[in-house]
Structure 1
């Protein structure tokens, strides 16, 4: 599938993939190069219920998606797929990201961080595979940060605790120099819910 903002690359052109969540710290495919990039028109958000990986049908978790937002952009990591591995990488990503049709696969134009603004357009951005939220899907669940924190702090699934997914993403975005202010705030909120309650202050005998 090709999105409105990009075109399928020529058959012999490199294949780029845009990672914004778990692909940043667990790509799962061979790559030859990484570059920081920015995808206009989307925001990174915990807006997709997870009932198979970070939650269960009885107690869903939340995972990240690229939520359409015309005035926003999302910073992430571009991977140039290793030459010769393009077909297997597409197949792997479709199995990983699209098993329940909660994402759309689009080829979008992703801006290269640090590119010379005076350079030709083809040197400032690349067409990249992006997996964006299918907002018609039954598991699309936009909600306030407080509600997200409550779910993420307690949910768990076969892939582990929901909070680990958040913590890993935040940590790797920091390491890459791409901190996300909203995710940083959410991370603090979830950690506060994990912390043991503070001990009650000691008091003297009743009536003292």
Structure 2
């Protein structure tokens, strides 16, 4: 089975996934979104409030293949996803009641063009209590989830991959900057930044 055929088998209908999410979300009085990478530094929606948050049981990993946002079919890039295990610091955003439906549509178009992510409501711990927040997770069984890549392959991607929102390298660097600004240390993000710097990509 070729990679393109395998990938096509796992793509789900984004519209149906969004309908299911709305069904789960509507009973909640407040709608929260968990940002762990680009949603920290480029949320692209107006939030009624935002808070630092910790999600347990999931960790940030630059292991999701990107053929649209940060790469192309000819030169796939990588984006972060939440994978099972560990914990992840990020930001939760509370959507404004009067615009939540429209903002969700926009967010969905950005994050779920092919339905690869598994959208979940996860308990996010904040200084003011736990909130159920929408998070974009990824199954390790997804063909979009790559194993940990050898450094030489990662360097090739960081040097060449670019998609509709820019390069994988810029995406990594922006995420690292956002985490540092908040005083959050992510060991793997810092390792990848050091790798990029060692190869004079930054």
Q: What TM-score do the two structures reach when normalised by structure 1?
A: 0.79
Q: Give yes or no for contact 1:103–1:131 (8 Å, CA) kept in 2.
A: yes
1:111 alignment partner in structure 2? 125
Q: Would you say 1:182 and 2:173 are equivalent positions?
A: no
Q: Which sections of structure 2, spanning at least 5 residues, go unmatched?
A: 1-19
Q: Give yes or no for contact 2:65–2:145 (8 Å, CA) kept in 1.
A: yes
CA, structure 1 residues 79+126, in 2 after alignment: closer, same or farther (shift >3 Å)?
same
Q: Give yes or no for contact 2:159–2:201 (8 Å, CA) kept in 1.
A: no
Give the alignment of 1:135-146 within 5 angstroms. Answer: 135-144=140-149, 146=151
Answer 1 or 2: which has greater helix percent. Answer: 2
Instruction: Please tell me the root mean square deviation across aligned C-alpha atoms, in Å.
Output: 2.0
Q: Which sections of structure 1, spanning at least 5 residues, go unmatched?
A: 116-122, 197-208
Query: What displacement does 1:92 show?
Result: 1.5
Q: Give yes or no for contact 2:124–2:131 (8 Å, CA) kept in 1.
A: yes
Instruction: State which of 10, 20, 24 in structure 1 corresponds to 2:27.
Output: 10
**More divergent stretch after superposition (131-140 vs 79-88):** 131-140
Q: What TM-score do the two structures reach when normalised by structure 2?
A: 0.81
2:170 alignment partner in structure 1? 164
In the aligned structure 1, how far is the partner of 2:41 from the partner of 2:150? 23
Size of the alignment, in residue pairs?
Answer: 180
| SS across alignment from 2:199 | helix
Q: Give yes or no for contact 1:98–1:104 (8 Å, CA) kept in 2.
A: no
CA, structure 1 residues 40+195, in 2 after alignment: closer, same or farther (shift >3 Å)?
closer
Instruction: State which of 87, 95, 106 in structure 2 corresponds to 1:81.
Output: 95
- Compare CA radii of gyration and give the structure with the larger one: 1
